[in-house]
Amino acid sequence: MCKFCKTNPVITLTNSNISLCSSCFIKYFEKKVFRTIRKFKLLDKGDTIVVGVSGGKDSLTILNILAKLAETKRDLKIKAVLIDEGIKNYRSITIKDAQKFCKEKKIQLYIYSFKKEFGYTLDEMVKKLKLNPCIICGILRRYLLNKKSRLLGAKKLATGHHLDDEAQSILMNQFKNNLELSARLGPITGVARFKNFIPRIKPLYLLTEKETATYAFLKKFNHKYVECPYSQDCFRNDIRDFLNDFENNYPGSKHGLIFSFLSVLPLLKEKYKEEKVRYCKSCKEPCAKEICNACEIIKKLK
Amino acid sequence: MPKVHLEKENKTVNVQAKTIAELLKKLKLNPTVCLVTVNNELVTGQYKIKSRDKIKILPVVSGG
Question: Which chain A residues are closer than 8 Å to B32 by Cβ?
Answer: 14, 210, 244, 247-248
pLDDT at residue A257 is higher than 90: yes
DSSP string, chain A: --TTT-S--SEEETTTTEEE-HHHHHHHHHHHHHHHHHHTT---TT-EEEEEE-SSHHHHHHHHHHHHHHHH-TT-EEEEEEEE---TTTHHHHHHHHHHHHHHHT-EEEEEEHHHHHSS-HHHHHHHH-S-HHHHHHHHHHHHHHHHHHHTT-SEEE----HHHHHHHHHHHHHTT-HHHHTT-SSEE-SS--TTPPPEE-TTTTS-HHHHHHHHHHTT---S----TTGGG-HHHHHHHHHHHHHHHSTTHHHHHHHHHHHHHHHHHHHT--SS-EE-TTT--EESSSS-HHHHHHHHH-
- Please check whether residue A210 lies inside any domain of the structure: yes
- Please check whether residue A203 lies inside any domain of the structure: yes
User: What pLDDT, on the 0 to 100 scale, is given for residue A289?
Assistant: 82
- Please check whether residue A291 lies inside any domain of the structure: no
pLDDT per residue over A59-70, tens digit each?
Answer: 999 999 999 999
Contact A90 B31 (CB under 8 A): no
Instruction: Compute the nearest-CA separation of A75 from chain B (Å).
Output: 32
Count of CB contacts below 8 A, A vs B? 65
Q: What is the mean pLDDT of chain B?
A: 92
Report helix, strand or coil for B36: strand
Give the residue-averaged pLDDT of B8-23: 94
User: What pLDDT, on the 0 to 100 scale, is given for residue A302?
Assistant: 81
Contact B60 A56 (CB under 8 A): no
User: What pLDDT, on the 0 to 100 scale, is given for residue A193?
Assistant: 61
**Where residue A152 sits, what CATH number does that domain have?**
3.40.50.620
Give the residue-averaged pLDDT of A147-175: 96
- How far, CA to CA in Å, does A131 sit from each of A26, A145, A290? 41, 21, 21
- Please check whether residue A27 lies inside any domain of the structure: no
User: What pLDDT, on the 0 to 100 scale, is given for residue A34?
Assistant: 97
User: What pLDDT, on the 0 to 100 scale, is given for residue A82?
Assistant: 97
Question: Which chain B residues are closer than 8 Å to A209 by Cβ?
Answer: 60-62
Taking phi first (over 0 means left), then psi (-120 to 50 degrees means alpha), and beta for anything else, what does residue B6 get?
beta
Lowest mean pLDDT among A53-57, A165-169, A213-217, A270-274: A270-274
Residue B57: closest C-alpha in chain A? A225
* Residue from B19, B32, B44, B48 to probe the interface with A (highest A Cβ count within 10 Å): B32
User: What pLDDT, on the 0 to 100 scale, is given for residue A115?
Assistant: 96
**Exposed / middle / buried, residue B24 (Cβ in 10 Å: 0-12, 13-18, 19+):** buried
- The predicted model scores a pTM of 0.94
- Please check whether residue A16 lies inside any domain of the structure: no
* Structure-model confidence comparison of residues A285 and B36, the more confident one: B36
Report helix, strand or coil for B62: coil
Number of domains in chain A: 1
* Structure-model confidence comparison of residues B62 and A10, the more confident one: A10
Q: What percent of chain A has pLDDT over 70?
A: 97
DSSP string, A57-95: HHHHHHHHHHHHHHHH-TT-EEEEEEEE---TTTHHHHH
Q: Angle at which helices A293-301 and A122-129 pack, to 10 degrees?
A: 70
Domain parsing of chain B, residue ranges: 3-59
User: What pLDDT, on the 0 to 100 scale, is given for residue B63?
Assistant: 62
Question: Which chain B residues are closer than 8 Å to A214 by Cβ?
Answer: 35, 42
* Structure-model confidence comparison of residues A73 and A254, the more confident one: A254
Q: For residue A35, name the pLDDT band (cuts at 50, 70, 90).
A: very high
Give the residue-averaged pLDDT of A39-56: 94
pLDDT per residue over A75-134, tens digit each?
Answer: 999 999 999 999 988 888 889 989 999 999 999 999 999 999 999 999 999 999 888 898
- Please check whether residue A68 lies inside any domain of the structure: yes
Contact A10 B42 (CB under 8 A): yes
Task: Decide: A27 and A56 in contact? Cβ < 8 Å.
Answer: no
Provide the residue range defining the domain that includes A257.
39-277
pLDDT at residue A191 is higher than 50: no
Question: Which chain B residues are closer than 8 Å to A58 by Cβ?
Answer: 62
- Please check whether residue A18 lies inside any domain of the structure: no
User: What pLDDT, on the 0 to 100 scale, is given for residue B61?
Assistant: 83
Fold of B3-59: Ubiquitin-like (UB roll) (3.10.20)
Q: What is the mean pLDDT of chain A?
A: 92
Q: For residue A288, name the pLDDT band (cuts at 50, 70, 90).
A: confident
User: What pLDDT, on the 0 to 100 scale, is given for residue A190?
Assistant: 62
Give the residue-averaged pLDDT of A182-205: 85
